[in-house]
Amino acid sequence: MPSEQTWDRDGLPAWSYRSTSMFELEKDRVFLNHWHVVGHVNDLKEPGDWLSFDLVGERAMVIRGKDGVIRAFHNTCRHRGSRLVEGEQGHCRGAVMCPFHSWVFSLEGELKSASQAEKFPPLDSQTWGLQALELETWRGFLFLRFESGPQPSIARMMERHEKELSDYPLETLQPTDGIYSSPVVPVNWKAMVDVDNECYHCPSAHPGLTDLYGRSYEEGPWLDGTHRIRGPFNEKPSRYELNKGYRDLVSQHPEPFHNIPKAWLYIGLFPVSVLVFYPESAGFYRSIPLDVETSVMTGATYSYEGESDSMRLARQQSTEIDGEVMLEDKHVCELHYQATASKYWDKGLLGDSEKALREHHDMLRNLIPELNGTVAD
């Protein structure tokens, strides 16, 4: 029978996926003033360990100081704006030195010295120190934003998920392969995030994933800036050898990991971050725009401290399953995105299984009322 639910089923207008004017509005109203997951405290075990994070033209670094405190700064020298650290993560021995003119900053962000300092007026170490960014830690995960915005603290946003996540040993997660990055995807970032906000496409696009947890996935609404999707493992025998082997390994988990549910759990945080919780590992990923028509997915996977051999093998197999899903999502994102260039397609029609997608779109509409009109480039 047709759905009797009456709600606005319009997706975002097609032009908004290709508009450079819209992308400029998104930079200030969506990206720079909202939280983004950047790593875990155990990525930064020693003083001088750092992570970097680039977003819509801005650059951040997160570094552990000699005092043990983790801080976030603009990854920008105060002298001429050079990038200070290069790459996804690394280590600074004792201080941060600019590769351009050798200005030196302490691991806590103060200016220590400027080369040929006699050619400058007096430089106060605090005034000319690195510019700090907001940084919050939630159960070991690190989040930053470039400026204050409408979202509350991460602790407040994650409060409704605390009970469900109580059996996951997140504070002691251990890095595995560092920060990964997908190949560049030739789509607007919203097309990548759209696919994360519904599993209506899963039976068609992800046969292996559907085999893993059947059609019993649970999808909740967007509330307080977060969105929950959970896929309990299918009780039926698997038709895929990779899934069968993975589920067998998960069943061998030793104590105390038996308490972790046999399910894949995803918690999305507006606008583009997703926390991932599996029986054998946890992690995150982010859909990052490079420009209006290209994006990339970056993230990391962490093992549970004290993992057994079976857990390590299970983690490797879940990573392989995830890799297949990522390629499948890339394909359908590209197929969908092609329509946004057509003058004969203006917006999508959303079904009852895509209400969370509509809610994500509505959050964007609230931040950018121009989405309700027309933007001409």
pLDDT for the residue numbered 258: 87
Asked if 225 and 275 touch (Cβ cutoff 8 Å), the reply is: no
pLDDT for the residue numbered 146: 98
CB atoms within 10 A of CB 131: 11
Considering the domain architecture, whether residues 68 and 211 belong to the same structural domain is answered as no
Considering the domain architecture, whether residues 321 and 376 belong to the same structural domain is answered as yes
pLDDT for the residue numbered 6: 79
Mean pLDDT of 306-332: 96
Q: At which of 151, 185, 204 does a domain end?
A: 151
The answer to whether residue 68 scores a pLDDT higher than 80 is yes
Mean pLDDT of 2-29: 91
pLDDT digits over 202-235, tens only?
A: 999 999 999 998 878 898 999 999 999 999 999 8
Angle (deg, nearest 10), helices 241-250 and 309-339: 140
Considering the domain architecture, whether residues 134 and 259 belong to the same structural domain is answered as no
Is residue 37 assigned to a domain? Answer: yes
Mean pLDDT of 151-159: 98
pLDDT for the residue numbered 4: 63
Is residue 215 assigned to a domain? Answer: yes
Please report the DSSP string for 22-45 in residue order.
HHHHHIIIIITTS-EEEEEGGG--
Q: Which phi and psi (to 5°) does residue 55 adopt?
A: -155, 120
Rounded Cα distance, 184 and 3, in Å: 38
CATH number at residue 311: 3.90.380.10
Considering the domain architecture, whether residues 247 and 317 belong to the same structural domain is answered as yes
Q: At which of 151, 174, 193 does a domain end?
A: 151
Q: Coil, helix or strand for 341?
A: coil
Look up the domain containing 282 and give its range. Answer: 1-18+164-377
pLDDT for the residue numbered 2: 65
pLDDT digits over 226-247, tens only?
A: 999 999 999 899 999 999 999 9
Considering the domain architecture, whether residues 180 and 83 belong to the same structural domain is answered as no
pLDDT for the residue numbered 7: 83
Q: What is the pLDDT confidence band of residue 1, given thresholds at 50, 70 and 90?
A: low
pLDDT digits over 97-117, tens only?
A: 999 999 999 999 999 999 999
CATH number at residue 120: 2.102.10.10
Q: What is the pLDDT confidence band of residue 5, given thresholds at 50, 70 and 90?
A: confident
Per the prediction, the chain carries an average pLDDT of 95
CB atoms within 10 A of CB 19: 22
Considering the domain architecture, whether residues 233 and 342 belong to the same structural domain is answered as yes
The answer to whether residue 374 scores a pLDDT higher than 80 is no
Considering the domain architecture, whether residues 134 and 184 belong to the same structural domain is answered as no
Mean pLDDT of 321-331: 96
Question: How many domains does one find in the chain?
Answer: 2
The answer to whether residue 376 scores a pLDDT higher than 70 is no
Mean pLDDT of 253-268: 94
